[in-house]
Structure 1
Amino acid sequence: MEFVIHILEFLVMLSILVLFHEFGHFFVAKKFGIKVEEFGFGFPPRLFGIKKGETIYSINAFPFGGFVKLYGEDEAGSGKVDFKNSKKASNITDIKRAFFARPAWQRVLVTVAGVVMNFLLAVIIISYLFAVFGSIAPKDVKIDGIQKDTPAASSDIKPGDIVIAVNGKNIQTTQQFIDIANDNLDKKITLKIKRQDRLFNVPIVPRKNHPKNQGPMGVVITQEVEVKKYAWYEAPIKGLTEAVSFSYLMVKEMGRILIGFLFLGAKPEGVGGPVAVAQISFQAFSAGIYPTLWLIAILSLNLAIVNILPIPALDGGRLFFVAVEMVLGKKINPRHESLAHTVGLALLFGLIILITINDILRILAGKSLVSP
């Protein structure tokens, strides 16, 4: 029963992400007067729909997200809309309201609106988490232990000490401590130590040559952290900063995987499909609301980044064709663009199938999909 509930939760989560994305297209298209023929929850076949104004709001059989059908978005390539014969459209006004008939800058904004909505959803969720639950922030670097026959053992450093600064530079993270030590091998540095209520300086020389199981100083360090809650006016700023930071890391990781695969022949480790996402989601659902909301925020950012890639059938692919049109000063042959999107969609589905098969094989082999 728990598994069934997690499946339903997973479908609801995916639907929220996709509907937010599609609502972005819908909202901006409406603002520009572009005719929206249908806004659907799930994917066809249609179960039922309500027509309000010119738009059908539908509920469809497969509840895996949603879609927006803009008049003239794909019909130009299939010949269903013809500028030369207005009788094939409902009227002249409809032709002018077709997506492909709108200025390039409007088509750009309609296309990127979905990506923007996913990014904003992530910012809203992360901001809420920082305001209500707080965020874990680095506080201090603590000396947990001293190894024998090391520079630390010959110094006045003791377990339990807190390192406040190194060479006059304040530090808060273990990585800062490690970096400074590695940058000053065989050079004397000064640690500012806090022991209970007392502050004092300790000189020490990090070794260049040290055993593999020891560091340059011979200390065991841990990261002390604190939970910080943000005020309502601080949380959105922190949420935006974190969303940008996560997006940068995602793009960087995608680039690393792609370069390794294309030029170095490396196996694309860490790439997961729907099965991997479902497994991670089930773990988050079981852990509670906090990790679940974080997961939704991360997946929303991921959806935004993937969609903006210049791949036919994705928003980024459509943007690419609009950009080419703006540079050349003339429209791309709609049939050629339609063909590119069709091929791109087929390749994407093929890739998803291959990744899903790989996920299933890893599960059958007893391997975790959470980490490679």
Structure 2
Amino acid sequence: MNSIQIALQIILMFFVLVSLHEFGHLYFAKRAGILVREFAIGFGPKLFSYKRGETRYTLRLLPIGGFARMAGEDPEILQVATGQTVGIRLKDNKITELHTDRFERLPNLLVGEIEDFDLEERLFVVLQVDGESHRFAVDPKAEIISQGKETQIAPKDRQFGGKTVLQRFLTILAGPVMNVLLAFVLFLIYALSAGIPTHIKLGQVEAGSPAAKADLKQGDVILSVNGEAIGPNGDRLVELIQQSSGQPVQLILNRGGEQLQKEVTPVQMGETVRIGTALGYETRRTQAGEAITNAWKDMTFMTEQILAGFKKLVIGDFKMDDLAGPVGTVKFTAEIASAGVAPMIRWSALLSLYLAIFNLLPIPALDGSRLVFLIIEALRGKPVDPNRESLVHFIGFAMLMLLMIAVTYNDILRLFQG
């Protein structure tokens, strides 16, 4: 597989994992009536942007995540104030556009000075025009236009904080849940494509190795070892070989439909006893029920491994080389992509599952931390001060960025050191 194909696979994988996660937030936010201002893939400067309905969809430069920016998650910043001169556009006696500048150049605008306003609850603006006060209702979807930039107002009932605890909880939880569902679907696809192992099949045979001297060939299917039927049990085969250092092992093979008997003597090769051949599997087609069972077992096993890894982080039982940032992840992903489509599918499933579990950790700035704040709100009957919560998330995000910088620096060092 060439470099362009591998690069496209990595980009597609990242796009699908992040997009589906953020789509979970987007979908449930819109179902709850929350105004989603932006749906972004990546962080940093915008590469591409377009607006559909109330939401702006953007692709950003740094491929390290994404976000669905909902009104009210951070305190709303109003671009108007009492005493300010503005231009308004009316439709059905309601303000649909409120211009803070350049209104002299625009036709059909009513210009005046703001005496009073409420753009979150009562939705009105009192404007002084030619010495007279006029009260205007404001459309719930009115736009504030400042320096050519449009910002839709967010009434309280369209803000994240204006919804019930359950609606907000489901909106936040939906992102990780989508990644869990994607992981299971990918594990299922892998189970269907990889097949069910029936026998062990030899891979590439190393030149000059005991396997080569015994005339073992790539593609030989192992039927038995020392009279013991081995089936697809690779662990048992390795165990028998490692117990037989310097001692002949009797193999019954199937080579192209012909049954052969071979004798091979395992030897110490590096840190272990080997015969010098890679191992693979001969498989049969997977049935639907088997695929579902295997996908569930695979996902359960990977979940246990991921949680074990996080436990090591918590207790400090790790080295910096045990961690991988974007550079290390891309490098390893490229190696897996070059091995074929099936390994890439399984690896994508693992990353999706990892993304879900990582986001559910109660670390500030992650979904798990936001869920904790919602649980606290439900228990105490009132929300945590939004400014304090925002500060906690900001500090957490800064710490995550520092960790990512450190891990990425280590990845680059390892890359240059081979």
Task: Report 1:109-148 matches (<5 A).
Answer: 109-136=170-197
C-alpha contact 1:96 1:102 (8 A) present in aligned 2: yes
2:68 match: secondary structure: strand
What amino acid is the match of 2:377? Answer: E
Does residue 1:341 correspond to 2:379, yes or no? no
Does residue 1:229 correspond to 2:285, yes or no? yes
* Seq. identity, %: 34
Say which structure is richer in strand. Answer: 2
Task: Report 1:261-300 matches (<5 A).
Answer: 261=317, 267-300=319-352
Task: Determine the C-alpha separation between the residues in 1 that align with 2:59 and 2:356.
Answer: 24
2:361 match: secondary structure: coil
C-alpha contact 1:257 1:268 (8 A) present in aligned 2: no
Aligned to 1:147: none
1:107 match: secondary structure: helix
CA distance 1:228–1:60, change in 2 (3 Å): same
Aligned to 2:301: 245
How many residues are aligned here?
302
Q: Which has the larger radius of gyration?
A: 2
Aligned to 2:118: 87
Deviation at 1:137, TM superposition (A): 7.0
What amino acid is the match of 2:285? Answer: K
Name whichever of 343-352 and 49-58 sits farther off. 49-58
Deviation at 1:97, TM superposition (A): 2.3
Say which structure is richer in helix. Answer: 1
CA distance 1:273–1:48, change in 2 (3 Å): closer
C-alpha contact 1:11 1:64 (8 A) present in aligned 2: no
Deviation at 1:104, TM superposition (A): 1.3
Aligned to 2:312: 256
Task: Determine the C-alpha separation between the residues in 2 that align with 1:138 and 1:253.
Answer: 32
Task: Determine the C-alpha separation between the residues in 2 that align with 1:353 and 1:292.
Answer: 26
Q: Which of 85, 97, 100 in structure 1 is aligned with 2:158? A: 97
Pairwise CA RMSD: 3.9
Does residue 1:162 correspond to 2:228, yes or no? yes
CA distance 1:223–1:339, change in 2 (3 Å): same
What is the TM-score of this pair, normalised by structure 1?
A: 0.68
C-alpha contact 1:137 1:228 (8 A) present in aligned 2: yes
Task: Determine the C-alpha separation between the residues in 1 that align with 2:338 and 2:171.
Answer: 37
Structure 2 unaligned residues grouped into runs of 5+: 80-115, 124-139, 141-154, 201-223, 240-251, 254-267, 269-274
Name whichever of 114-123 and 126-135 sits farther off. 126-135
CA distance 1:267–1:31, change in 2 (3 Å): same
Task: Determine the C-alpha separation between the residues in 2 that align with 1:251 and 1:63.
Answer: 25
Task: Determine the C-alpha separation between the residues in 1 that align with 2:189 and 2:117.
Answer: 50
Deviation at 1:250, TM superposition (A): 0.9
Deviation string for 1:111-144 (max 9, x for gaps)?
11111111111111111121233244788xxxxx
C-alpha contact 1:16 1:65 (8 A) present in aligned 2: no
CA distance 1:50–1:107, change in 2 (3 Å): same
Does residue 1:107 correspond to 2:151, yes or no? no
C-alpha contact 1:138 1:223 (8 A) present in aligned 2: no
Deviation at 1:269, TM superposition (A): 4.7
What amino acid is the match of 1:238? Answer: N
Aligned to 1:10: 10
Deviation string for 1:190-240 (max 9, x for gaps)?
xxxxx99xxxxxxxxxxxxxxxx9xxxxxx9x9996535322354234323
C-alpha contact 1:46 1:59 (8 A) present in aligned 2: yes
Task: Determine the C-alpha separation between the residues in 1 that align with 2:12 and 2:176.
Answer: 19
1:287 match: secondary structure: coil
Task: Determine the C-alpha separation between the residues in 1 that align with 2:381 and 2:319.
Answer: 41
CA distance 1:79–1:320, change in 2 (3 Å): farther
